[in-house]
Amino acid sequence: MRIIMFDIDTLRPDHLGCYGYARDTSPVIDSIAADGLRFDNYYCPNAPCLPSRASLISGRYGIRTGVVGHGGTAADMRLQGTTRHFRDSVSDNGLFMQFRRAGMHTVSFSTFAERHSSWWFNAGFNECFNVGKCGNELAGEVTPHVLDWLKRKGDNDNWFMHVHYWDPHTPYRAPEEFGNPFKDVPLPDNWIDGKIFAEHLLHVGPHGANEINMWDDTHFDQYPRHPGAVRTMQDMRDFMDSYDCGVRYTDDNIGQVIGQLKEMGLYEDTAIIITSDHGENLGELGLYAEHGTADEPTCHIPMIIKWPGGPEGETAPGFHDNVDLAPTIQELLGTKFVGEYDYDGVSYAKTITQGKNCGKDHLVLTQCAHVCQRSVRFDNYLYLRTIHGGYHLFPKEQLFDVVNDPHQLHNLADERPDLCDKGARLILNWVDEQMKKSEFDIDPMWTVMREGGPEHARGMLESYIKRLEGTPRASQIPLLREMYPKG
């Protein structure tokens, strides 16, 4: 068997044609979805990049692995401790090791492990190709190596290939010669009108319209598509184009790989997995060009699986998150655990082979790199609870009907306290159950809080307040100090 996994950074499903987007951002991905199974309610349970892939690889939530942030103790996989023997359990039982245990030759084209000093990510690979730019490479620098490998080894049987593209990730950087295929194409869902944009210009917090560069409006000449700020409606439109260009540029590179498979006569019998680590805030909650919350735009991700003999052009029911992939692959390939190990995920192999509903009725999502938040996705709703807002002025509780209000414009928390109570109870019960399974007595979200708060917000309050002084946002400084008395 041959399997390719396209691991595309920062890819929002609602910016893909197969998920309903009207712009032509993803013709190749759309064609693969037509040949396979699309999951409409698939989520990243631990955002952003590092925590998400820790969950993906381990099949466990961050509350158990300890990886919930981008810095400090909570950016490292917890040591196994006294039960560790010659090898550790995560490396022996992780996602990519399942392909090895099934007798496949495994190869990865990714810089992720180096970018985040997360070398556990490479466990299970026979070959790891790193172009050496720590995530700053273009897809066009990766694809030639993928094509070369396929030409040399693709005819062999029993291999798994992991291809990682960063291009929809900030800074938006599709090459200049790519142009802008969306210049004259209207925004399909132009939800940011003049009134909403005026509110965005008054937003306090990093990665707002005035500070695309997190804490300031610095623009880097080497990234002409990535602005330091968006101050006009035209700026906002150009910003959206830049993100969509990153998606289409990635899709074009996937097209080259798919074209090579078809030329070699391998496409029909090759399984293809397309997914992402997280999405992106594109104006939602007042944030631009970041994946810094535990909300719908950040945590909702695509999952498309074309499996030989599996469903074609269908959608999978129920909620799923990325810890479900490891047990699914384990069941599909017939591999077994090594030693004492378990997954938090639930296999949906029977969805792929039999069309059975293997979904969950709710999912708990966590973000501790930019903010400290937990949310729960249930029914039509996302209930969001903020512990540390990363110097945004978020209320403690937010509730959104994300089916009918996907851009989270209307906080229903005051109108529906009953649903807030349900959301809070679901989170509390989930934490209790996870802590019962954990070998550790500390929720790593509280490790982040005790170490000074989210990595990307530590020590920035005073300098940010100075930036706000003398601006139309200065009136919000007292509230900012009230919400963050410890800085």
Residues 47-55, mean pLDDT to the nearest whole number = 98
User: How far apart are alpha carbons 77 and 65 in whole angstroms?
Assistant: 6
Q: Which 3 state secondary structure label does DSSP give 38?
A: strand
> Can you give 380-428 as a three-state secondary structure string?
CEEEEEEEECCCCCCCCEEEEECCCCCCCCCCCCCCCHHHHHHHHHHHH
| CB-based contact 74:66 (threshold 8 Å) | yes
pLDDT given for residue 196 in this prediction: 97
| CB-based contact 312:333 (threshold 8 Å) | no
| Contacts (Cβ under 8 Å, ≥6 apart) of 86 | none
Residues 265-292, mean pLDDT to the nearest whole number = 98
Q: From the centroid of its chain, how far is CA 25?
A: 18
What is the 3-state composition of the chain as percent helix, strand, coil, each rounded to the nearest 5?
Answer: 40, 15, 45
Sign of the dihedral through C-alpha 68, 72, 73, 75:
positive
End-to-end CA distance of the chain: give it in Å, rounded.
54
Question: What rounded mean pLDDT belongs to the chain?
Answer: 97
| CB-based contact 271:307 (threshold 8 Å) | yes
Q: What percent of the chain has pLDDT over 70?
A: 100
Q: At what angle do helices 27-34 and 233-263 cross, to 10 degrees?
A: 50
DSSP 8-state class, residue 459 = T
Each as own residue / partner, the long-range contacts of residues 79-88 (CB below 8 Å, 24 or more positions apart, any chain) are 81/439, 83/340, 85/339
pLDDT given for residue 16 in this prediction: 98
pLDDT digits (tens, 9 = 90+) for 133-177: 999 999 999 999 999 999 999 999 999 999 999 999 999 999 999
| CB-based contact 359:41 (threshold 8 Å) | yes
pLDDT given for residue 486 in this prediction: 85
| Contacts (Cβ under 8 Å, ≥6 apart) of 59 | 93, 94, 95, 323, 325, 326, 327, 343, 344, 345
Identity at 313, one-letter amino acid code: G
Q: Which 3 state secondary structure label does DSSP give 344?
A: coil
Torsion angle of the four alpha carbons 105, 109, 113, 114, in this order, in degrees rounded to the nearest 10 = 130
pLDDT given for residue 99 in this prediction: 98
User: How far apart are alpha carbons 38 and 433 in whole angstroms?
Assistant: 30
Q: At what angle do helices 233-263 and 139-153 cross, to 10 degrees?
A: 10
pLDDT given for residue 339 in this prediction: 94
User: How far apart are alpha carbons 420 and 26 in whole angstroms?
Assistant: 37
pLDDT given for residue 429 in this prediction: 98
Q: How many residues does the chain have?
A: 487
Q: What percent of the chain has pLDDT over 90?
A: 99
User: How far apart are alpha carbons 312 and 240 in whole angstroms?
Assistant: 31
User: How far apart are alpha carbons 115 and 79 in whole angstroms?
Assistant: 21
Q: Which 3 state secondary structure label does DSSP give 181?
A: coil
Please name the residue that has the structure tokens 């998150």.
321
| Number of helices (H), then strands (E), in the chain | 16, 16
pLDDT digits (tens, 9 = 90+) for 70-120: 999 999 999 999 999 999 999 999 999 999 999 999 999 999 999 999 999
Query: Burial of 140 by CB count in 10 Å (0-12 exposed, 13-18 middle, 19+ buried)?
Result: middle
The answer for 397, left when phi > 0, alpha when psi is -120 to 50, beta otherwise, is beta
- The tokens of 264 are what? 């070699």
Q: Considering the entire predicted model, what is its pTM?
A: 0.97
pLDDT given for residue 459 in this prediction: 93
Residues 185-189, mean pLDDT to the nearest whole number = 93
| Contacts (Cβ under 8 Å, ≥6 apart) of 72 | 447, 448, 451, 452, 455
- Is residue 469 very low, low, confident or very high in pLDDT (cuts 50, 70, 90)? very high
Identity at 19, one-letter amino acid code: Y
DSSP 8-state class, residue 374 = E
**What is the set of domains in the chain, with CATH numbers?**
2-483 (3.40.720.10)
Q: Which 3 state secondary structure label does DSSP give 274?
A: strand
pLDDT digits (tens, 9 = 90+) for 291-341: 999 999 999 999 999 999 999 999 999 999 999 999 999 999 999 999 999
User: How far apart are alpha carbons 277 and 47 in whole angstroms?
Assistant: 8
